[in-house]
Amino acid sequence: MSADRLPPASGAWREGDDPGARRFLDLPGPLKLEAGGELPEARLAYETWGELAPDGSNAVLVLHALTGDAHVEGPAGPGQPTAGWWPGLIGPGLPLDPARWFVVAPNALGGCQGSTGPASPAPDGRPWGSRFPAVTIRDTVAAEQHLADALGIDSFACVIGGSMGSMRSLEWAATEPDRVRRLALLAGPAASSADQIGWAAPQIEAIRADPGWHGGDYHDLGPGEGPWRGLGVARRIAHLCYRSGIELDTRFGRDRQPGEDPLDGGRFAVESYLDHHADKLVRRFDAASYVLLTRAMNLHDVGRERGGVEAGLRRVRARTRVAGVVSDRLYPIADQQRLADGISGAGDLTVIDSPYGHDGFLIETPTVGRLLTELLAESA
């Protein structure tokens, strides 16, 4: 690999980089963490669209998945290496029209695109690295409550999320039931299962086994150093969870990558596809954030310290819509059925008929858009 193509040790946004459309909130004091201890100081990066109504009634919170960020909609640009991750939902005439709604999207605590995480400076000025404490999905919500307070939002007209964003959305509604009037849960569970934790385990181990991991303290290393190889392996494993076997077989079959022969050490087309997604991620994400947030997803359990999952779901009072993707092999449709059954007034489960697997909640925009339009039109 040529020197100018070497991945960075970390793809995290750093102090001094162009902020792009990011805005920042410094939390007002230390953040106590569910597992014990605290973050002495922390901030959240976020983006907004539209204006908050004088009565604060039109705020919508959109929460990203594992490797997402605050940039839900918009082009790539300075300080923002990728275009918005959920195009087609925010904009004039779209379900989240900024002329009607004030849309808020924070980068999760522990992330790497402006919010405090392992790549961020600790109070001593050095990157947190291995010293960054464990966070849970509830901790991310606790930080986001400060953001809502700072923006003058007493309650959200709707909280929306898919995958890890669905976990965060559910925790918002269970932790702060009076602050969530409507709730859209897409392709996520009430609690992570053994199968989901099992899928995550080799991803975490691939990163930690990389010689460039250095125990989590690699953020000051140069290009080509750091655990980017392990992060790439983790992304390859994860991407197989995000897509369905039917889609991959239909799309690639046993085709060879053009110009390469698997009999002579070359790649199949599907291998090239996974390599491409691995290369993209290592240039925009941080391996330690990937480990931290994956562990937070493993710890997700809306029933923890609440008397079990069903009791946790009964805390939700928001008007709720739940959707799952029929071909999702990471968070299968039974997970969403449990949410729909356990949340009072959630109504029937919306089944997204898509071959794209877990990523269907991001790809099947017309179906998701209709669900959000209908939910936002209902009284809350």
Instruction: Kindly state the average pLDDT of the residues 194-203.
Output: 98
209/62 Cα distance (integer angstroms)? 34
Q: What is the mean pLDDT of the chain?
A: 97
Contact present, 357 and 247 (Cβ < 8 Å): yes
Contact present, 277 and 283 (Cβ < 8 Å): no
Percentage of the residues of the chain whose pLDDT score is greater than 70? 99
1 has a pLDDT exceeding 70: no
Instruction: Kindly state the average pLDDT of the residues 201-214.
Output: 98
Q: What 3-state DSSP class applies to 174?
A: helix
3 has a pLDDT exceeding 80: no
214-231 pLDDT per residue, tens: 999 999 999 999 999 999
**Do β-strands 59-63 and 158-162 pair in parallel, antiparallel, or remain unpaired?**
parallel
324-370 pLDDT per residue, tens: 999 999 999 999 999 999 999 899 999 999 999 999 999 999 999 99
Residues 6+ apart with CB under 8 A from 294: 66, 200, 203, 204
**CA 283, 46, 89, 346 torsion: positive or negative?**
positive
Instruction: Kindly state the average pLDDT of the residues 79-93.
Output: 96
Contact present, 104 and 61 (Cβ < 8 Å): yes
16/119 Cα distance (integer angstroms)? 13
pLDDT at 36: 92
Residues 6+ apart with CB under 8 A from 141: 168, 171, 172, 175, 176
Query: What's the token pair of residue 42?
Result: 């922390």
Contact present, 139 and 292 (Cβ < 8 Å): no
What is the DSSP code string of 251-294?
A: HHTTPBPTT--GGGT--BHHHHHHHHHHHHHHTT--HHHHHHHH
Query: What's the token pair of residue 273?
Result: 């596809």
Contact present, 174 and 166 (Cβ < 8 Å): no
pLDDT at 2: 47
30 has a pLDDT exceeding 70: yes
Whole-angstrom CA distances from 88 to 74, 326, 367 are 10, 22, 11
Contact present, 49 and 96 (Cβ < 8 Å): yes
DSSP letter for 343, please.
S
Which residue segments constitute the domains of the chain, with CATH numbers given?
3-192+302-377 (3.40.50.1820), 197-294 (1.10.1740.110)
Residue 216's nearest CA partner among 207, 203, 229, 206 is 207
Give the catalytic positions in this structure: 163, 328, 358
Measure CA of the first residue to CA of the last residue in the chain; give whole Å. 55
Q: What 3-state DSSP class applies to 374?
A: helix
Contact present, 10 and 219 (Cβ < 8 Å): yes
154-186 pLDDT per residue, tens: 999 999 999 999 999 999 999 999 999 999 999
Give strand pairing partners of 268.
Answer: 256
Does the pTM surpass 0.75? The reply is: yes
pLDDT at 4: 63
Whole-angstrom CA distances from 276 to 236, 259, 271, 273, 340 are 9, 16, 9, 5, 36
199/330 Cα distance (integer angstroms)? 8
pLDDT at 5: 85
232/83 Cα distance (integer angstroms)? 20
Instruction: Kindly state the average pLDDT of the residues 320-325.
Output: 98
pLDDT at 93: 97
